[in-house]
Amino acid sequence: MSADQTQLAFDWSCRILSDNGCGFPAPGLQSFLFKPLATVGGFEFNKVMLLALVTTILVVGFFWAAFGKARMVPGKLQMIGEAGYDFVRRGIVYETIGKREGEKYVPLMVSLFFFIWIMNIWSVIPLAQFPVSSIIAYPAVLAAVVYVTWVVLTFKRHGFVGGFKNLTGYDKSLGAVLPLVVVIEFFSNVIVRPFTHAVRLFANMFAGHLLLAMFTVASWYLLNSYMIPAAGVSFVMTVIMVLFELFVQAIQAYVFVLLACSYVQGALAEHH
C-alpha cells in the first residue's frame, strides 16, 4: 500500500458507523502510487524501482554464486540453481522450441523466468508487500525485449519477403480472402501480440495485489469495529489469497516465458 493509504488504514478512529467520516479505507489506485525515496538530478527513485533493483541483484547474485565456481559434485546452492535452470530449459524451452534450436535461448528464458517470478513474489514478502509487475512499465519493457527478439529472428531467418509472409500469414492459396487475412494477421502479430503479452502479466499482478490489500485492510477494519467473527473470516481469506497468489506468481512467470518461447519458435519455423 502507498504511504497515504497506510496512514489511513492505521487510523484507529475509522470504524463502521463512526461519525468522523473516514469510513472503510478501500484500496484503489492509490495503492500503486509511492512517494520518492530519493531524488537525484531530477530523477525520482521510489520503492518499486528499489524492489526491481534488488530483484536484479538477487537473480544475478544467486546464479553467480551457484555457477561461478561450478563443481562436478555440486553443493546445495549449485544443485538448487541447476534444478531451476533445468526446469526452464527442459520444461519450457526444449518443449516449445526444441533442443537443437532452443539451447541458445535458454539463458534469456531463464533470466526472464526468475526475474519475473521474484518481481511477483515481493507481493507476499513482509515490508515489501508489492508486486513490481503490477506497474505496467516493467512487463512492457520485458515484452518489448521478447518482441524485438522475435522480429529480428523472423527477418534474419527468412529474409525480408519471407519474414513478411511469416508475420502476416501470406498464402496465395487463400485466394480472395488473402488481403483480409494479411491485415488481420499483421494487426494481431505486430500490434496486439506485444500488448497482450505485457498486459496478461500486469493485469494478474494488479488484480492480485488489490485483493490482498482489500482483505488485509478489511480484517483490521472489521476488528476495529468489534466485528470479530467477520474479521476472522476476512483474515482467513487473506491467508487463502496469499497462498493463491504464490501459485499465480509462479504461473505468470511460466506463462510469460512459455509465450516468449512460442514466439521464438514461430520466428524460426518455416513458412508454408
Cα–Cα distances (Å) from 243 to 53, 116, 123, 176, 247, in that order, read 25, 18, 11, 53, 7
Number of domains, the chain: 1
List the one residue out of 86, 88, 81, 138 whose CA is nearest residue 110. 88
Alpha-carbon distance of 88 to 66, in angstroms, equals 16
3-class SS of residue 20: coil
**Residues with Cβ < 8 Å from 211, sequence gap 6 or more?**
241
pLDDT of 10 reads: 45
User: What does the alpha-carbon distance between residue 225 and residue 24 come to, in Å, rounded to a whole number?
Assistant: 10
Which is nearest to 188 in space by CA: 169, 204, 203, 172? Answer: 169
What is the DSSP annotation of 104-128? GGHHHHHHHHHHHHHHHHGGGSTTT
3-state secondary structure of 37: coil
Domain that holds residue 147: 3-268
pLDDT at 263: 94
Provide mean pLDDT across the span 169-179.
Answer: 78
The vertex-164 CA angle with 159 and 167, nearest 5°, equals: 120
**Residue 97 burial by Cβ neighbours in a 10 Å radius (0-12, 13-18, 19+):** buried
The residue assigned the cell 505496467 is: 136
* Mean pLDDT within 245-271: 91
The pLDDT tens digits of the residues spanning 23-71 come to: 667 777 888 888 888 887 778 889 999 999 999 999 999 999 988 887 8
Cβ atoms < 10 Å from Cβ of 110: 22
Average pLDDT, the chain: 86
What per-residue confidence (pLDDT) applies to 19? Answer: 56
- pLDDT per position as a tens digit, 188-202: 888 899 999 999 999
- Quote helix, strand, coil % in the chain, to nearest 5: 75, 0, 20
Spatial neighbors of 230 by CB under 8 A, at least 6 apart, are 222
Place of cell 476488528: 223
> Given pLDDT bands bounded at 50, 70 and 90, which one contains residue 16?
low
Length in residues, the chain: 272
pLDDT of residue 3: 41
The residues near 218 (Cβ < 8 Å, ≥ 6 apart) are 24, 231, 234
Q: Give 56-59 contacts, CB < 8 A, sequence gap 24+.
A: 56/115, 58/118, 59/111, 59/114, 59/115, 59/118
Closest C-alpha among 207, 248, 249, 225 to residue 31:
207
Note the pLDDT of residue 7: 42
**At residue 197, what are phi and psi to the nearest 5 degrees?**
-60, -40
Per-residue confidence at 214, pLDDT binned at 50, 70, 90?
confident
Q: How confident is the model at residue 15, as a pLDDT?
A: 62
